[in-house]
Amino acid sequence: MDFEDTPDQAEFRSKARAWLDANAQRRNDKLLRGMEGEAAFLEAKEWYAKKAQAGFACLTWPTEYGGAGLTSLYEVIWAQEVENYLTRDSHFVIGIGNCGPAIMHFAEEQQKRELLPRMASAEDVWCQLFSEPCAGSDVAGLRTRAEQHDDHWLLNGQKIWTSGAQHSDYGVVLTRTDPTISKYRGLTLFMIDMRQDGVEVRPIKQMDGGQHFNEVFFNDAVVPDNYRLGEIGGGWTGALTVLMSERLAISGVQPTGFPQFLDLVKSLELNGEPIANDPLVRERLATWYTQYAGLQAVYKRMITAVAKGGIAGAEASMGKLVGAVMNQEIANFVCQLFGQAGIIQDEQLSPEQAHFQKTVLFSPGIRLAGGTDEVMRNILAEQVLGLPQEPRADKGMAFQDIPTGNS
Ligand SMILES: Cc1cc2nc3c(=O)[nH]c(=O)nc-3n(C[C@H](O)[C@H](O)[C@H](O)COP(=O)(O)OP(=O)(O)OC[C@H]3O[C@@H](n4cnc5c(N)ncnc54)[C@H](O)[C@@H]3O)c2cc1C
């Protein structure tokens, strides 16, 4: 693929850069001071609304759904430019990156026109309600029930690890509608209003002090039938659309830690000498630079495939696996370099040390979210290396007959 800009693309790039210069903080100024909780969320919403007004949100979505109607190549240009800035887009990745494509594909026209523009402008925030206490990697084993009553459904059950549910107006929820058939065929996907009676969000406090995700309980929560995404029993196909979009969306924003590490190495001294002169640091720098450059090449290959109408395939799994491990390794290494000061978590005291310390504590989660390391390896083993599928003991069994710890 030719990575040179056409005149139109060059114009878009310079507009994007000018807008970012005026509205975002450059990465090499300093690390973004993290506000926590509600304040951070409100600032993020304001930032995203401005970005949408300027025409830089949802670049590939059709204009009637609030997008800019451009090709994926413009998304790549935006991603290349935005990499140099610190932004607060992460609250919207799940909605716009994961839920949006499924809604676009499966929702009725009226719902698309009503809900997608509000999602694109960050007026509404969305979450993804898939994982349950006993269904994470094996999400098709979930137990939240949806029962049909005339023109609506009643949902009962529990979700867990739902990122951003505390701020969300809507969610995409995967449910079991028929336990008498195989686990993949008895699932149905819905959109749900998160502010209604019968939906209870309980925060989970993390070890880094943050509160990123939640438990969500459904107690006779009502979902109108026109909020169903796809066929009854077709939930697995919808869920795969969400999960594939998730891998692509994560690949665009997943932290690797490398740019921050590079900035740090340029500024830090050890025993009166630039730390970049230390052989161990140089060795780490070279290793992580190689991985980082490889990830960028993989990302371009993936975007090229998507731009040609393909899907985010094994490249997304490879990017996720390598990037998440690297992010954790870099944070651990940097905290060792900082010595005792590496335990500082107070951003007012030292934004840099706090950033890496918080990354040490949150990076294990990145290795789980969106598919664990082992799940990524299984995908690569089966889809790239052509190794035999792992044995699936419940294949073809009715969901209700699959033995559980209680049976
Ligand atoms: C930061 C973060 C954000 C998240 N956000 C969301 C969200 O917004 N919405 C949502 O629905 N979920 C979310 N999740 C949940 C996430 O999808 C699950 O944590 C993930 O799918 C793993 O499921 P689990 O935690 O139940 O672990 P399990 O599936 O119970 O896995 C436990 C261990 O067993 C291994 N394992 C499992 N199956 C296999 C296998 N077949 N082969 C080899 N090893 C295996 C796993 O790799 C892991 O090490 C989030 C998680 C995190 C950490």
Atom of ligand 1 nearest to the CA of 94: 8
pLDDT at 1: 57
**Nearest protein Cα to ligand 1, atom 16:** 369
Atom of ligand 1 nearest to the CA of 373: 47
pLDDT at 406: 66
Beta-carbon count within 10 A of 84 CB: 14
- CB under 6 Å to ligand 1: residues? 94, 127-131, 136-137, 161-163, 212-213, 365, 368-369, 372, 374-375, 378, 390
| pLDDT tens track for 84-137 | 888 888 899 999 999 999 999 999 999 999 999 999 999 999 999 999 999 999
Give the CA distances from residue 276 to residues 3, 338, 359, in Å, rounded to whole numbers and listed in that order. Answer: 32, 14, 22
Token pair for 136: 């994470």
Token pair for 266: 């340029």
pLDDT at 313: 75
pLDDT at 208: 84
For ligand 1, the distance from its centroid to the CA atom of residue 372, given in whole angstroms, is: 6
For ligand 1, the distance from its centroid to the CA atom of residue 136, given in whole angstroms, is: 4
* The CATH number, out of the four listed (3.40.640.10, 1.20.140.10, 2.60.40.10, 1.10.645.10), of the domain defined by the range 254-383: 1.20.140.10
For the segment 242-261, the average pLDDT, to the nearest whole number, is: 81
Query: Does position 376 have pLDDT exceeding 80, yes or no?
Result: yes
The answer regarding whether domain 7-88 maps to CATH 1.10.540.10 reads yes
| pLDDT tens track for 72-82 | 788 878 888 88
* Residue 202 · residue 224 · CB < 8 Å: no
Taking the C-alpha atoms of residue 405 and residue 407, their distance in angstroms, rounded to an integer, is 6
| pLDDT tens track for 50-73 | 999 999 999 999 999 999 999 878
Domain-by-domain residue ranges, the chain? 7-88, 126-235, 254-383
Q: What is the bridge-based pairing of β-strands 126-129 and 170-176?
A: parallel
| pLDDT tens track for 132-156 | 999 999 999 999 999 999 999 999 9
The share of the chain scoring above pLDDT 90, in percent, equals 67
CATH of domain 126-235: 2.40.110.10
pLDDT at 361: 94
pLDDT at 199: 98
**Nearest protein Cα to ligand 1, atom 2:** 369
**Quick one: angle between helices 72-82 and 7-23, nearest 10?**
40
DSSP strand E in 178-275: where? Answer: 187-193, 199-203, 213-224, 228-229, 269-270, 273-274
User: To test the ligand 1 pocket, which listed residue (368, 387, 389) has its Cβ within 8 A of the most ligand atoms?
Assistant: 368
Atom of ligand 1 nearest to the CA of 138: 29
